Amino acid sequence: MNKRLLPAVQQSINPKKPKHWSLSLLDSMKDPDSIVKSTEKLVVIRDKYPKAKVHYLILPHEEISSIYKLNHSHVKLIEDFGQMYKKIQEDEDYSLKAGFHAIPSMQRLHMHIISTDMISPCLKTKIHWNSFTTEFFLPYDDVLRELKENGSIQKMTSESHKKLMSTELQCNQCSYKPKNMPQLKEHLRSHSI
């Protein structure tokens, strides 16, 4: 069996299959199974690989690829993100935080709404952890403030990115410093009892 033939076969069966993984949020935005809430300007979807008990994404219908494409004209849109975040929190029992990844992997601007327990089988790597628990995670309020003050978001350097991703593991709820990911995940369970 020639495995090189398989992608072509899959493509012909499903022509709408995205060309690249980084575009897959665009499909999720249209998938009724993923959509939690939808308004004229925004869509809320469940993250396909949640990193906590609650993990949603808020995205605009407008074709904005990332926070680095934002300008002063988008202040109202980002304020709408905040209103939606507020509504979601009102409906949830878990305490949620909202923010953007400094260097996102997926196209289409998206804000993470994630509970602080960080208990999920999809949370596997140090990069996952540091993406939500270090300064790589840009809190909603900070992004809105920067956009209002500067009319744009300052790009994080790749040096800062590298440094933050290699930050030693540190519990987000206490001073515990686990040796590895399995130890961290075991520890997190003790906070949720």
Partner DNA sequence: GTTCTAGAAC
Binding site for DNA (CB under 7 A): 21, 49, 101, 105-106, 122, 124-128, 131, 180-183
By CB neighbour count within 10 A (0-12 exposed, 13-18 middle, 19+ buried), where does 147 fall? buried
Q: Of 46 and 75, which has the nearer Cβ to DNA?
A: 46
Query: Is-contact 135 164, C-beta < 8 A?
Result: yes
Q: Which two tokens stand for residue 45?
A: 């979807």
Quote the tokens at residue 114: 């994630």
Smallest gap from residue 66 Cβ to DNA (A):
13
**Rounded least distance, CB 164 to DNA, Å:** 12
β-pair partners for 59: 43
Phi, psi dihedrals of residue 98, rounded to the nearest 5° = -125, 140
**CB nearer to DNA: pick between 53 and 75:** 53
Helices 140-150 and 75-91 cross at an angle (nearest 10°) of 160
Out of 55, 101, 110, 112, which one is annotated catalytic? 110
**110 assigned to active site:** yes
CB nearer to DNA: pick between 85 and 129: 129
Residue 55 CB-density burial (10 A; 0-12 exposed, 13-18 middle, 19+ buried): buried
Least spacing, CB of residue 147 vs DNA, in Å: 22
Minimum distance from residue 148 beta carbon to DNA (Å): 26
Q: How many residues does the chain have?
A: 193
105 vs 158, which CB is nearer to DNA? 105
Catalytic positions:
110
